[in-house]
Chains A and B, each alone.
Chain A
Amino acid sequence: MDPVLQVEGLVKHYGAVEAVRGIDLSIEPKEIYGFLGPNGAGKSTTIRCLVGLLRPTAGTIRVFGLDAAKDGVAIRRRIAYLPGELRLPERLTAAQFVSSIGRLRGGEGAARCQELAGRLQLDLDRPMRELSSGNRRKVALVLAFLANAELMILDEPTSGLDPLMQREFIVLLREARDAGATVFLSSHVLSEVQRVADRVAVLGEGAVVASGTMADFRGRARSHVEVFFADAPPTAELAALPGLVDPQVTGQHFTATLSGPIGPLLSLLAQHRVASMLVEEPDLEEAFLDIYGGGKP
């Protein structure tokens, strides 16, 4: 199956500033693709190139097989975009604004709009100037999900939302994917990406510094290991285990950080009397910080 979005050698310069330095991406249909990176890594610049708001300095972007440089209108008919920096017309009510954008898209369903507003607890009749940043974000989310787009490009979609609404957003996102949408989800909220993304690319200083499936990232991520031995810990054997770093022994209590497979550790522990054991779920955030920090996870 052809990729929904294919980016090759994307470069974007602002004068002497190299905001994006040769990005390659390929996103498959019905995939939720996480796009991670710290502020200033080039995420929003990349996204604004994808949507046609910026002209790439070099590289090609193909969406649904169409050339983004030539077929912008046809592409935008099939995508929904939620910008990271959200500025909405102050004097319009949310309903007026949603209707206005709907008319530009050729009409959207009023019933679906009401349903989305209800689920996101958004009052559509209030002027935008009276809305909090979270509620403005909800307006943009209504627009994004209302479009029934084949590709959703979402830049920091939950910024300003309370945890309840963040959870509702995840539900909506999964529903959209189940309905056939592909999602390009840019965020620096790692827990959010961790929960929904099938694959992830990590951006640092304008380039992809790591990419892979979530399983890949979890495998590369470090886990905290904590073991209470019934007897004295086998300190020398533990220290010799591959992937086990920073071992600490306090009486019968052993802690360490594990990177890589857990099998050798379990084999060793099976030979000893263990009172209890705790292995924390590998955390994408740590993997991300390792990658961005220049270390190898």
Chain B
Amino acid sequence: MNSQRFELVTGPLRSMRRAIAWWSAGMAALVAGTVIFWPIFKGSTGITDALNHLPPTVLTAFGLQDFGSPAGYLRANLYEIVVPILFVATAVTLVGGQTASDEAAGRLELYLAQPVRREAVYLGRAIAALIGLAVVTLALLVVQIVMDAVVDLPIDLGFLLPTVLLCAFVGVFYGSIAFAVACARPRPSVVMAVGIELAVLSYLIVAMFSFSTVLQPWSQLSPWSWAFAGDPLQTATDLWRYGALVVPSIALVLIGLRAVAHRDIAAG
């Protein structure tokens, strides 16, 4: 029975390995391509001075504060928007591809006709996507650490690690939404759209609401705020921020599994 459970995870991982490799390579290239320009900006006051002419709310909204510092440079170029969105895209495409896309194409038919519960098949695919995301996270972290050393970008690992983890957890959160949608309604385009668009919306809530004193408190409802409002590249991250992303993710997966157990499997 253990080999059966193992297969439910390793089978999807085998079919995802190219996607995982491409996402890892893409993330690594993005980080390397960004960090390599740090020596040009290091100590340069020109851009910092220019940015300082912008209103503080604009700087905060787009993560541009302290652009000339190592943390500010990484935040503005990578960890404020780009990397979290890419993690969301990675998670949503991996989990959506293994669930909604495979089911809608009829590729799950033979698996679900075996002596396994359909919840187990879906959970196996969610775990495989999670492992895939972990590999991408690790690739990004390793390249970030190596490149930091190469170009002499001093960033404390105690801040870098939580930042990268929070980005990955944001991916897990929206991947879980995509998973729940796929479990309820296996339409690949809907799954991808809901997962990614909700992530963009939650970022926009944080960014746009910061311009209004009336709306600003409501930005705390956004998962983006739960993850990044504490400025994890410069400040110690509170544990609740991880929990705020992980606990709903687990709940979403459980809701999804309950949904898939009680519906028809789509024909190919």
A295 CA to B258 CA in the complex, in Å? 47
CB-CB under 8 A from A247, the residues of chain B are none
**A161 within 8 A of partner (CB):** no
**B263 within 8 A of partner (CB):** yes
A106 CA to B6 CA in the complex, in Å? 11
CB-CB under 8 A from B105, the residues of chain A are 87
Cross-chain pairs A/B with CB under 8 angstroms, 20 sampled = A52-B112, A53-B264, A53-B265, A54-B264, A76-B114, A76-B116, A83-B110, A83-B113, A85-B267, A87-B107, A87-B109, A88-B110, A89-B15, A100-B7, A103-B3, A103-B7, A104-B111, A106-B115, A107-B3, A143-B110
A7 CA to B236 CA in the complex, in Å? 63
A107 CA to B112 CA in the complex, in Å? 17
Decide if B4 touches A83 in the complex (CB within 8 Å): no
A-B contact count (CB 8 A): 80
Decide if A101 touches B114 in the complex (CB within 8 Å): yes
* Chain B 95-114 interface residues, beta-carbon cutoff 8 Å to A: 105-107, 109-114
Given A48-B267, A103-B3, check contact A81 B115 (CB 8 Å): no
Decide if A77 touches B107 in the complex (CB within 8 Å): no
When the two chains form the complex, which single residue of A51, A85, A92, A103 contacts B4, counting CB atoms closer than 8 Å?
Answer: A103
Decide if B14 touches A101 in the complex (CB within 8 Å): no
Decide if B112 touches A53 in the complex (CB within 8 Å): yes
Interface residues, chain B, CB within 8 Å of chain A?
A: 1, 3-4, 6-8, 11, 14-15, 18, 105-107, 109-117, 262-265, 267-268
B113's closest neighbor in chain A, by CB? Answer: A81
When the two chains form the complex, which single residue of A79, A87, A100 contacts B268, counting CB atoms closer than 8 Å?
Answer: A87
B98 CB, nearest partner CB in chain A, Å: 11
A91 CA to B38 CA in the complex, in Å? 41
Given A76-B115, A101-B114, check contact A92 B263 (CB 8 Å): no
Given A55-B264, A104-B4, check contact A73 B117 (CB 8 Å): yes
CB-CB under 8 A from B115, the residues of chain A are 73-74, 76-77, 104-106
Given A89-B15, A106-B4, check contact A51 B116 (CB 8 Å): no
Decide if B116 touches A87 in the complex (CB within 8 Å): no
In the A-B complex, list the 8 residue pairs whose CB atoms are closest, starting with the nearest. A87-B106, A77-B115, A103-B7, A81-B113, A53-B265, A104-B114, A76-B115, A87-B268
* Chain A 53-91 interface residues, beta-carbon cutoff 8 Å to B: 53-55, 72-74, 76-77, 79, 81, 83, 85-89, 91
A14 CB, nearest partner CB in chain B, Å: 8
CB-CB under 8 A from A257, the residues of chain B are none
Given A53-B112, A104-B8, A106-B4, check contact A92 B117 (CB 8 Å): no
Decide if A85 touches B106 in the complex (CB within 8 Å): yes
Bitwise interface map of A from 99 to 137 toward B, beta carbon under 8 Å scored 1, else 0: 011011111000000000000000000000000000000
Decide if A104 touches B116 in the complex (CB within 8 Å): yes
CB-CB under 8 A from A73, the residues of chain B are 115-117
A79 CA to B114 CA in the complex, in Å? 8
CB-CB under 8 A from A103, the residues of chain B are 3-4, 6-7
CB-CB under 8 A from A81, the residues of chain B are 110, 113
A3 CA to B134 CA in the complex, in Å? 50
CB-CB under 8 A from A72, the residues of chain B are 117
**A176 within 8 A of partner (CB):** no
B264's closest neighbor in chain A, by CB? Answer: A54
Decide if A83 touches B15 in the complex (CB within 8 Å): no
Given A48-B265, A53-B264, check contact A89 B107 (CB 8 Å): yes
**A44 within 8 A of partner (CB):** yes
CB-CB under 8 A from A52, the residues of chain B are 112-113
B3's closest neighbor in chain A, by CB? Answer: A103
CB-CB under 8 A from B18, the residues of chain A are 91
Q: Which of A54, A86, A104 has the most CB of B within 10 A?
A: A104
CB-CB under 8 A from B117, the residues of chain A are 72-73
A140 CA to B107 CA in the complex, in Å? 12
B117's closest neighbor in chain A, by CB? Answer: A73
A143 CA to B110 CA in the complex, in Å? 10
**A96 within 8 A of partner (CB):** yes
Q: Which of A53, A72, A88, A91 has the most CB of B within 10 A?
A: A53
CB-CB under 8 A from A51, the residues of chain B are 113
A106 CA to B8 CA in the complex, in Å? 12
Question: Contacts A53-B113, A76-B116 given; 9 further ones with Cβ under 8 A?
Answer: A48-B267, A53-B265, A55-B263, A76-B113, A76-B114, A81-B110, A100-B11, A101-B110, A103-B6
